[in-house]
Amino acid sequence: MLVERIFVFFLVIVASHQRIIFPGCKPLTADQLMEKLGNGFIAQYMSLHGNFDRNHPLYYNQHGICRSELVVEKLPDDYFPRFIRHVKCSSEEDVCLTGKSCQTVEAYIRILRREVTMLCDKDGYQRWTTISRQIGGGCECAVETF
């Protein structure tokens, strides 16, 4: 009995560091994950396969006083959606006006992260948690904050 408890404790420690997915919990489909995320899916910023919908362009300041650029991040398998698009200043910290500098505007989106656990949800599926993720929402000339 003691050996079994030590082994389970060891598995939990290893799993928390290596993102091991234990057999027995059914994976959620993309449709189920979309439903779980609810209205948190924002097509301008998120994609399932890296193909961003042309009907949902992301407008950003390309030619203003502070230049910005699009960034596409591919997240690990334990996040949903896997592709995030956002804006960052390509001229971060540049002086734009007296006493001001170009700064990336912070925005937050909701995404899902698969939990590292041996326990399934009540229906036998993997557990996913909604988390908040900071992204760049634009670039503006602003007073420096310390």
- The pLDDT assigned to 3 comes to 40
How confident is the model over 17-24, as a mean pLDDT?
54
CA–CA distance, 103 with 88 (Å, rounded to integer): 8
Q: pLDDT over 70 for what percent of the chain? A: 77
CA–CA distance, 112 with 70 (Å, rounded to integer): 22
CA–CA distance, 13 with 127 (Å, rounded to integer): 18
- The pLDDT assigned to 59 comes to 67
**Which residues have C-beta within 8 Å of that of residue 37, sequence separation ≥ 6?**
80, 81, 110, 111, 112, 130
Mind listing the pLDDT tens digit for each residue in 64-119? 788 888 889 999 999 999 999 998 888 777 888 888 888 888 999 999 999 998 89
With bands split at pLDDT 50, 70 and 90, how would you rate the model's confidence at 43? Answer: confident
CA–CA distance, 134 with 128 (Å, rounded to integer): 19
Please tell me whether the peptide bond between 81 and the residue prior to it is cis, using omega within 30 degrees of 0.
Answer: yes
- The pLDDT assigned to 62 comes to 59
Token pair of 95 as six digits:
């002086």
**Which residues have C-beta within 8 Å of that of residue 137, sequence separation ≥ 6?**
86, 87, 104, 105, 106, 107
pTM of the predicted model as reported, rounded to 2 decimal places: 0.74
List, as one string, the DSSP characters of 75-110. PPTTEESSEEEEEEETTTT-EEETTEEEEEEEEEEE
- The pLDDT assigned to 89 comes to 87
- The pLDDT assigned to 35 comes to 93
